[in-house]
A and B are shown apart, each in its own frame.
Chain A
Amino acid sequence: EVQLQESGPGLVKPSQSLSLTCSVTGYSITSNYWGWIRKFPGNKMEWMGYISYSGSTSYNPSLKSRISITRDTSKNQFFLQLNSVTTEDTATYYCARLWRRDYFDYWGQGVMVTVSS
């Protein structure tokens, strides 16, 4: 069974970088697409970006200058880095498998990240 698990700090200071790891078991990240989604307080959900089976990436234009998604295929993990965070980046962050680049069929449990000094 495909399982994903996010990990990373729950508190980040404004202007710093947010870094999260998604560990995948049961499926190789060298197949398909792997994405990050966040859910803000108030329930709005935003797709942040993905990394493909080949290592290519695609990002939401709203984040393009601040986001980076990378991977370590030897550990079957992929990573999110979001730079210059503000309080508006406070959200629950999910990693998920993106099937056919269309929809998210497996999700991690989510990690709540608060941006605060």
Chain B
Amino acid sequence: EIVLTQSPTTMAASPGEKVTLTCRASSSVSYMYWYQQKSGTSPKLWIYDTSKLASGVPNRFSGSGSGTSYSLTISSMETEDTATYYCQQGRSYPPTFGAGTKLELK
């Protein structure tokens, strides 16, 4: 199965700061998916097909990447963005998830 490695594990960002979260796959994948999870709630689809924003996701978020390296970027950090973000690949079965990046407010 494909192993997804997310970095950093935890990070803190100041309001207005640009944030980049990384997900690396052990083998090439076609697309990457990202989920946002806040404490006590279920994961929400955030980015699909590598770069498409799910419904309701602010356009300060973007996704990019190909092959084995993917990223989620926040152009300007806001308080409401504090959460854990997970990447997931689905085209190579079984679907697998990264361990998550916890994003905190500085």
Partner of B90, one of A43, A62, A103: A103
Known: A94-B42, A102-B31, A109-B42. A47 touches B97 (CB 8 A): yes
Residues of chain A contacted by B97 (CB below 8 angstroms): 44-47
Residue of B nearest to A101 (CB): B90
Cα–Cα distance between A95 and B29 once the two chains are bound (Å): 24
Is A84 located at the chain interface by the 8 A CB criterion? no
Interface residues on B, range: 20 to 34
Residues of chain A contacted by B38 (CB below 8 angstroms): none
Encoded as 1 (CB less than 8 Å from any A CB) or 0, chain B from 71 to 93 comes to: 00000000000001010101101
Looking at chain B's contact residues, the main secondary structure is loop
Chain A residues with a Cβ closer than 8 Å to the other chain, count? 23
Residues of chain A contacted by B42 (CB below 8 angstroms): 94, 107-110
Residues of chain B contacted by A45 (CB below 8 angstroms): 43, 86, 88, 97, 100
Binding site for A on B (CB under 8 A): 1, 31, 33, 35, 41-45, 48, 54, 84, 86, 88, 90-91, 93-97, 99-100
15 A–B contacts, CB within 8 A, in A order: A43-B99, A44-B97, A44-B99, A45-B100, A47-B97, A62-B94, A98-B90, A103-B33, A103-B88, A103-B90, A104-B33, A104-B45, A105-B45, A107-B42, A108-B42
